[in-house]
Structure 1
Amino acid sequence: MSSWAGYAWLQKHFDIPVTQKMPIRSQIGRDRKTSFQNGVYHETYRPNSKPDDTPSAHLAFALKHEGIHLELLSHVFERYQKQALTDWVASEPTGQYTRKAGFLYEWLTGDILTVPEMSGNYHNLLNPHEVVAAETPIKNSRWRINDNLPGTPHFCPIIRRTELLDIASNYDSNARLKNMEDDFGAELMSRSAVWLTIRESRASFAIEHEGDQKSKIHRFALAMGRYCGQIDAPLSSESLTELQNSILGTSTIRPGLRQSPVFVGSGTQEMGSYVHYVAPDANEVKPMLEGLQAFMAKTQHESPIVRAAVASFGFVFIHPMADGNGRISRFLINDSLRRDSAVPEPLLLPISSTINKSTGSRNNYDKILEAYSRPMMAKTTNDIRFGDRTTYPDGVVSDFKFSGNDTLRPAWRYPDLTEQSEYLFHVIHETIEYEMRHQIESHQSYINARDKVKDTLEGPNEHIDRIMRSVERNDGQISNKLEKEFPMLKDPETSESIKNVINAYVAGRPLRRNYDPDMEVETLRESIDDGPGLR
């Protein structure tokens, strides 16, 4: 009969409410074998590898064979008797895994163990070949550990190195955009920067179900053009407040970092609220943002796509503002890519347009958010209630009450953003090779058609655009209303020529190609060694 080992044993022994998947689950069985299912490696070890049935033995096994799972370890150290941990660490002062355990206990809890002086060679806390780690480790002489955690105790995201993220690390978005410029010309690419920015703004508001508010869309487009890659510290409270005001306007009800509880939910006044996600306690917001800033500072030469994913999803899961979190999180994708020189100025990737292009694409975005939030809510359903109204320091009055902070705090602080990074890689690749190409091809086709109309009928672009839109909407015919507005269209020869051009344009308009993630990965895998520009 199989029995759990390592983290799985610790989870069961301490009855830990872990919300994020354990990427490795170990058990003891008859034969040594490995299987991979639903993103989890299942490792079976022979009986002679079975640890003693003690927390210290299984903790050492986990640190040796399964890496570091900060959420689970945080819960473990809350339940582990401090004296028992102290005795174990003191009994093996040269042991690599006792020293790692001692360091992690102090780092996660802020408490100090009374142990003798440690000795032995320095070891990296994280294996940088397995997870994203700080590029310059800090030597911790107390534990003789190279601290290469990429964040802080208040916020330290973990990103596992997967095959797809290895492909992402070789992905040269700049070269792909240069190829696009070679295909369409520098002038059209330069002109496209403006309307791609507006398209990104419109789609970002549509994701928030605010797609028809033209003044806000225009304001967000201006903010992206002004701030993207330009703010010294985009995740500071001052910069975020300035950005929020630029996107939402100075009339936003609660500017700046929130000082009140917040949840993401849906519902109606009659039916009540359904809670999809509870954000961290307001007291956690500022130190968590500082942890996110630390990650960005410690990983400056990492994959730009991974860094953009951490900036965006890390921000939206912290949910530091009362309003505008979703739009700012998607702004941070382009901001991070611009800072890492992955997307040249003045281009902006219409990420939101890709996310919102179809019901299926929007569902995929919701699913990647729910991959993090849904397990958390499943563990804390009974901790959510609506009661007496409370006025908070920022003036917010709320009846929302949440008693699950202790359960979710480790998941809030130590999110595994591997799946979100993989998701964003696909979105960026689809945006560049499919969405942008389609939009530029469509724009080029339209410009060519407009120029042909102007061969027959001279006039300012806005008038020609008006004529083309009207003919297209009127099934290829010129309406009486349009003739009254532009009397020259009454001429049969003129009107026939214009109709032919517009109908040919509509019939030959470029079609959007479907994006197949599996096929794209296979193509990228095959071309990864073909040199710059093809990667």
Structure 2
Amino acid sequence: MVTILDPDQQYALAEGDPSPRHKVSNNLPGTPAFCPLVRRTPDLAAFSQKALGERAREAIGRVRPDLVARAAAFILLNDSKSSFAIEGERPSGQRAARWGQAIAQAGVRPLSLDELDRLQRIVIGDARFVRLGLRDEGGFIGVHDRDTNMPIPDHISARHEDLESLVGGLIAFSDRAARGAMDPVVAAACLAFGFVYIHPYVDGNGRLHRWLIHHALAAASYSPPGLVFPVSAVILRNIDRYRAVLESWSAPLLPFIEWRPTVSGNVEVLNDTAAFYRYFDATAHATFLYACVEQTVEHDLPQEVRFLQAFDTFSEGVQQIIDMPTAQAELLHKFLGQNDGRLSQRARTKEFAALDDAEVERIEALYADAFERDRRNAK
């Protein structure tokens, strides 16, 4: 039986839909409504062979469960904050925690338009000034001319008339890629970047786009149970490359989109553009996402576990010197970290005035030993 895609050339479903009558197996990852493709480049083939998901599970399996739970909680909140930071926002602690909880649930519920709408409501929080649900007008990313209010787009979103079809195709792609055992990271890249190019909502698209990465990885059981890969934190560290990857498709597309400005400063697309969002080459996007996942497995996850191990060593050692509540030990650690392992004169005369010189000296030595060992293990 012949496959539609050559799996040696492009990423396809490992388990396609056979048509015995035609002697063809449909291993396309999507449907006519949404089907981006990814070329099997040497870089991507090398990433696939690293089995990063399995390596993460094996590494986490060697760590005490209580440490894993604490690391997972910090990573989740950090990823939520990073996703807002990418959009230039600094959410309240409560809002960041709510979005972190939504990230933790990625992959639990089937993807649907209702689920995306629910997530948009969580992202926006106060919706008094934002229209919820699919757009009912055009959309673009860019700026306005200060004098004329003329739109200056860097990216033009899909026409609102095409949104139901495109989002429906995207949801079908998600289900089909998971059932057909497509490479999870490649599928996540197609799904997430396809969503952000479509840009179906007035606001919240960027955070939902990164949530979809977590959804695809969790739905395929690629990420360790109970633990998310802090992809947004890695993206934030590589923000220029992230923007370059986004523009690798949207910028060349602009000359092919006919549009005119509206009186409200928006854009109205005049030609049929749906195919631009249904079928695009996501090779660069998959390569970028794989590099991000590799950083989380080789750097972020081990770093957080090492930090917690070092902090526990430090905290337990402090208790041997002086009986101190956990909150005070955390504050002590914070002060030492801010002053290269030395307790500042201010801290010694205020918050920790009760410590004598000998105790301070022992605590500083304890800090140096615990966290120097952490730095050595990181190398």
Give the TM-score band, short-chain normalised.
0.7 to 0.9
Q: Which residue of 1 aligns with 2:250?
A: 373
Match of 2:123 among 247, 251, 258: 247
Q: Tell me which amino acid in the other structure corresponds to 1:468.
A: H
**CA, structure 1 residues 180+266, in 2 after alignment: closer, same or farther (shift >3 Å)?**
farther
| 1:210-225 → structure 2 map (5 Å cutoff) | 210-211=89-90, 213-225=92-104
Structure label with greater radius of gyration = 1
Is residue 125–residue 147 contact of structure 1 (8 Å, CA) maintained in 2? Answer: yes
Matched, 1:260 2:140: no
SS at match of 2:331: helix
- In the alignment, structure 1 segments of 5+ residues that lack a partner are 1-121, 390-398, 515-535
> What does 1:123-138 align with in structure 2 at a 5 Å threshold?
124-133=3-12, 135-137=15-17
Q: 1:314 aligns with which of 171, 181, 194?
A: 194
**Which residue in 2 is equivalent to 1:469?**
334
**Matching residue within 308, 317, 330 for 1:443:** 308
Mark the CA change 1:377 to 1:482 in structure 2 (over 3 Å): closer, same or farther. Answer: farther
Separation in 1, partners of 2:280, 2:307? 40
1:286 to 153, 158, 164: 164
Q: Structure 2 matches for 1:223-372, cutoff 5 A?
A: 223-225=102-104, 227-232=105-110, 234=111, 236-249=112-125, 251=127, 253-266=130-143, 274-299=152-177, 300=179, 301-357=181-237, 361-372=238-249
What letter is aligned with 1:401?
V
| 1:450/1:240 CA distance change after superposition, 3 Å | same
Q: Deviations over 1:156-197 (max 9, x none)?
A: 212222333333443423421233235543332232111111
Partner of 1:386: 261
Pairwise CA distance, 1:266: 4.0
Contact 1:478 1:495 in 2 (8 A): no
Q: Distance in 2 between matches of 1:479 and 1:341?
A: 51
| CA-CA distance at 1:308 after TM superposition | 1.4
Deviation at 1:269, TM superposition (A): 5.1
CA deviations on 1:16-55 (whole Å, 9 max, x unpaired) are: xxxxxxxxxxxxxxxxxxxxxxxxxxxxxxxxxxxxxxxx
Q: Taking structure 1 as reference, are residues 339 and 275 closer, same or farther at Cα in structure 2, changes over 3 Å only?
A: same
RMSD (CA atoms): 2.9
Q: For the residues of structure 1 that align with 2:65 and 2:182, how far apart are their CA atoms?
A: 29
Cα pair distance change 1:429/1:472, threshold 3 Å: closer
Please state how far the C-alpha of 1:264 moved relative to its aligned partner.
1.3
For 1:268 and 1:443, locate their aligned partners in 2 and report how far apart those are by CA, in whole Å.
50
1:127-182: CA deviation from partner (whole Å, max 9, x where unpaired): 344334454336497x9976554333332212222333333443423421233235
How far apart are residue 345 of structure 1 and its match? 1.8
Paired letter, 1:483: T
Higher mean C-alpha displacement, 499-508 vs 337-346: 499-508
**Distance 1:506-1:384 versus aligned 2 partners, 3 A rule:** farther
Taking the aligned partners of 1:421 and 1:246, their CA distance within structure 2 comes to: 27
Matched residue of 1:154: which SS?
A: coil
Q: TM-score, normalised by structure 1?
A: 0.63
Unaligned runs of 5+ in 2: none
SS, match of residue 388 in structure 1: coil
CA gap 1:181/1:372 in 2 versus in 1, 3 angstroms: same
Q: Which moved more, 1:464-473 or 1:274-283?
A: 464-473
Preserved contact between residue 434 and residue 512 of structure 1 (Cα < 8 Å) = no
Matched, 1:423 2:288: yes
Deviation at 1:403, TM superposition (A): 3.6
Aligned residue number for residue 345 of structure 2: 479
1:370 and 1:224 mapped to 2: Cα distance?
26
SS of 2:280's partner is coil
- Encode CA deviations 1:351-374: one digit per residue, 9 max, x unaligned: 1111112xxx11111111111111
**Kindly, what percent of the aligned residue pairs are identical?**
27
Is the 8 Å Cα contact of residues 256 and 321 (structure 1) preserved in structure 2?
yes
CA distance in 2, matches of 1:177, 1:127: 30
CA distance in 1, matches of 2:206, 2:156: 15
1:329 maps to a residue whose letter is H
